Structure 1
Amino acid sequence: MKNAGIIAEYNPFHKGHLWQIDELRRRGAETITILMGGDFSQRGRPAAFSKFTRAEAALRCGADLVIELPLPWAAASAPDFAFGGIYLLHSLGCIDTLSFGAEQADPEWLYDLAALLARPDFDEALKAELALGGSYPAARATVAERFLPGSAALLATPNNILGIAYLRAAAVLGWSPELACLPRQGAAHDAPAAANGFASASALRKALFADDLATLRSYVPSTAFELYCADLATGAVYNEDAFSRSLLTVLRTADSAQFAHCPSAGGEGLAHLLASSAHKAATAEELYTQLKSKRYTHARVRRLALEAYLGIDDTLPATPPFLRVLGASEAGIGLLRQAKTAATLPIAFSLADAGRLSPEAERIAALTARGDALYGLCLAQPRASGNDYSRKFLRV
């Protein structure tokens, strides 16, 4: 292991994430690159803190390089989120190790499941199960259990699901990095704080939004906590009411015909339901409740609403067109020197530079800037737009 890569959201960065970085160092990693989602998360919501704050927290807690996962992949379902992250890590040309946390830390199980999900006969059986009217996750688990007993439990846990998606994406790209599959530390996903010093990111977000800074302080590194407090002091933190108003304003005034082109719409009438529900709901949660059904999970309807809000549609590039650096340490700068000749994508140190690379890059840069403008309205203290184009990468 020389140059390790992690795909993450750090929403927020906490002691479990610090443990992963420290463990990779213990195993011999010379550099650690983070491929991090931006201001909107895979859960279909704005991140608690801006990508710049989260990137700085990662760098000050041991990471060497933070590269942004662009919006269309950062806000996508697990397979597309994973593909975007793996594609960019592979494109750097110098990452030899992929690390991720999983509830099942035996990579053989994950490899077996990844291979199963790629089989044509599995796909046919899944289509037949979906025709019965259930949700995609439930149908996938049912069919997987039929083919490989014991796999349904693995597919019920989010880190395992992402780990399997990473392996499938790497296989598609013909990339075979060394794996550092680490057991998830402490509390399970969406669980309360654990007694051994670790807590889930979702538990920490709940504490943050309840103004419970004592809990936050207990489970995040002190350096990260200082950054979070600085943002809290200026209102640069996500606010649910602000997001609801911004989301519903955009959805009510948008061209609803475009909703059908969102990746999560699926051609199943869900886009029409989103358009009508946006005029009935008074909050984001009411909107999700109206859209939720036996067939459509909360995760899917949140992502659909976010795609329509941000302008993510099926005409965007199929793969990320550039590597945008959010920040780097001195070791990270050294890695970028290697990547200058090894990378298969151009490297940009600002969004403005990225947008000048190609027509596809310009579209992704414009979408990122739109996301920045809308994210500024989702904060406790709204801020002006244009921040993303003017920000230079951070050197720590």
Structure 2
Amino acid sequence: MYIGIICEFDPLHSGHARLLSHARAMGADAVICAMSGNFTQRGSFAALDKLARAEMAVRCGADLVVELPTVWAMSPAETFARGGVQLLALTGVDTLLFGSECGELSALRRLADCLDSPAFADCLTAADSGATFAVRRQRAAAALLGDADAALLESPNNTLAVEYLRALRRTGASMTPATLLRTGAAHDGAPEGGTASASYLRQLLRQGQGEAVCGFTPPEAADILRRELSRGRVTDSALCERAVLSRLRVMTEEDWRGYDPGGEGLYHRLYQAARSACTVDGLLSAAKTKRYPLARLRRMALAAYLQLPPAPAQVPYIRVLAATAAGRAHLRRLRDAGAPVLTKPADVSSLGADAAALFALEGRCTDLYVLARPDLTQSAPGQDYRTTPVMV
């Protein structure tokens, strides 16, 4: 049995380790992680780069870590889930494991079925157009399923879990879903029961409290974090603030249009905000209304800085970030079966023009990402073309 997990591990903490351990307990022959690259779904620079986080994963229970490219990794939940499911399907995963706040697959299935129903579309259209999409979605689900099921959509891991189930259906992936009850600290809450959320740990890192973060991570992950801190490689997005603002200030209103997939005219607000704001936070605050969540604005602004195109219909390759001996054995089987496995950057041209273009885009994203490292000697361009997977 090959168990897949869609993840960010930014940074990998005790809750993530519990998920990896659970996959082992389920009897996995290999645990395969589809992990976001250097930018994440909340519209931010990852605190640690993709190779460091992939190494954390393989030293804490994963066998193979493959990269979910930025165009999917930094998308809304529906597109993020689709990309992750497609990528894991390429690796031959037969079970998709994910955490959730409810821990009940049946309830999550009811919500997924509801959100894909024609009746839901009608209820969503009838909902208060002045509310956020999340509020309108929950109200529409409540009208069809009742308040108890609909309330599950208030929790971020439940919401992602529902999108994974929808993506399995829409892509036709032959994976069996499984969920593990999330315990301990809430998504954005304070530590609880010896666990802390990734958002809380990133806050500690921004405050220079790296050693405190190590107390909430497995020892293997803590060692990697200490190494990255000592090398000046843990990012601080504030170091790129002027670069971000310079890009956004020179954009025309029409340039912004392509980063507004909702077609609701939000790009007008971001364009106007970019003409007056002196900080990224100020830009986001000026553009925000109660209708638009901050995460959506962050994704749009960062996508504009990175000049990201929309996510393609299909993930074109399996880019390996890290592997154990078991992971390498599985990669050999995938190659023998003709899967588009990519371990050497030079080999991407053999996968076709679309794959080469996506890899080049990812390389440019990394070139911008490394500029957020405190030590500029660690920010040389072209790193995606020179680095090789971590093998343990």
Q: If the length of structure 2 is used for normalisation, what is the TM-score?
A: 0.95
CA-atom RMSD in angstroms? 1.6
Q: Tell me if 1:391 matches 2:387.
A: yes
Map Cα deviations across residues 226-248 of structure 1 (whole Å, 9 max, x no partner): 11111112221121321322211
Give 1:354's match in structure 2, choosing from 348, 371, 377: 348
| Identity value in percent | 39
- The residue number in structure 2 matching 1:192 is 190
- The residue number in structure 2 matching 1:370 is 364
Give 2:306's match in structure 1, choosing from 298, 306, 310: 310
- The residue number in structure 2 matching 1:159 is 157
Q: 1:207 to 1:176 in 2, by over 3 A?
A: same
Letter of the 1:297 counterpart: P
1: CA distance, partners of 2:69 / 2:244: 20
Q: 1:247 to 1:163 in 2, by over 3 A?
A: same
Q: Tell me if 1:38 matches 2:32.
A: no
Q: 1:353 to 1:280 in 2, by over 3 A?
A: farther
**Residue pair 2:105, 2:179 contacting (<8 A) in 1 also:** yes
The offset of 1:137, in angstroms, is 0.6
1: CA distance, partners of 2:342 / 2:158: 32
Give 2:314's match in structure 1, choosing from 311, 319, 329: 319
Letter of the 1:312 counterpart: L
Q: 1:355 to 1:53 in 2, by over 3 A?
A: farther
The offset of 1:313, in angstroms, is 2.5
- The residue number in structure 2 matching 1:213 is 210
Map Cα deviations across residues 302-360 of structure 1 (whole Å, 9 max, x no partner): 1111111111134x5222111111111100011112222446x5111134423542121
Q: Tell me if 1:21 matches 2:20.
A: yes
- The residue number in structure 2 matching 1:276 is 272
**Residue pair 2:81, 2:167 contacting (<8 A) in 1 also:** yes
Q: Tell me if 1:248 matches 2:245.
A: yes
Moved more, 207-216 or 166-175: 207-216
1: CA distance, partners of 2:342 / 2:327: 14
The offset of 1:224, in angstroms, is 1.1
Q: 1:95 to 1:265 in 2, by over 3 A?
A: closer
- The residue number in structure 2 matching 1:329 is 324
Letter of the 1:216 counterpart: V
1: CA distance, partners of 2:279 / 2:233: 21
SS state at 1:266 partner: coil
Letter of the 1:147 counterpart: L
2: CA distance, partners of 1:251 / 1:394: 35
SS state at 1:155 partner: helix
**Residue pair 2:319, 2:342 contacting (<8 A) in 1 also:** yes
Q: 1:191 to 1:352 in 2, by over 3 A?
A: farther
Letter of the 2:178 counterpart: A
1: CA distance, partners of 2:354 / 2:252: 23
SS state at 1:231 partner: helix
The offset of 1:26, in angstroms, is 1.8
Map Cα deviations across residues 41-87 of structure 1 (whole Å, 9 max, x no partner): 00000000100110111111121000000111000010000000001
2: CA distance, partners of 1:253 / 1:380: 26
The offset of 1:202, in angstroms, is 0.6
Map Cα deviations across residues 186-212 of structure 1 (whole Å, 9 max, x no partner): 111011111x22111011111111122
SS state at 1:35 partner: strand
**Residue pair 1:11, 1:49 contacting (<8 A) in 2 also:** yes
2: CA distance, partners of 1:68 / 1:355: 18
**Residue pair 1:265, 1:304 contacting (<8 A) in 2 also:** no
- The residue number in structure 1 matching 2:254 is 257
Deviant stretches of 4+, over 3 Å: none
Alignment of 1:92-111 (within 5 A): 92=91, 94-111=92-109
The offset of 1:261, in angstroms, is 1.1
Q: If the length of structure 1 is used for normalisation, what is the TM-score?
A: 0.94
Q: 1:350 to 1:137 in 2, by over 3 A?
A: farther
The offset of 1:175, in angstroms, is 2.4
Q: Tell me if 1:288 matches 2:287.
A: no
SS state at 2:39 partner: coil
Give 2:178's match in structure 1, choosing from 177, 180, 187: 180
Consecutive unaligned residues in structure 2, runs of 5 or more: none
1: CA distance, partners of 2:252 / 2:333: 45
2: CA distance, partners of 1:352 / 1:309: 27
**Residue pair 1:243, 1:379 contacting (<8 A) in 2 also:** no
Consecutive unaligned residues in structure 1, runs of 5 or more: none
**Residue pair 2:210, 2:229 contacting (<8 A) in 1 also:** no
Letter of the 2:247 counterpart: V
Letter of the 1:372 counterpart: T
2: CA distance, partners of 1:117 / 1:350: 40
**Residue pair 2:123, 2:143 contacting (<8 A) in 1 also:** no
2: CA distance, partners of 1:389 / 1:273: 37
1: CA distance, partners of 2:70 / 2:156: 20
2: CA distance, partners of 1:282 / 1:369: 29
SS state at 1:66 partner: strand
SS state at 1:100 partner: strand
Letter of the 1:99 counterpart: L
**Residue pair 1:246, 1:378 contacting (<8 A) in 2 also:** no
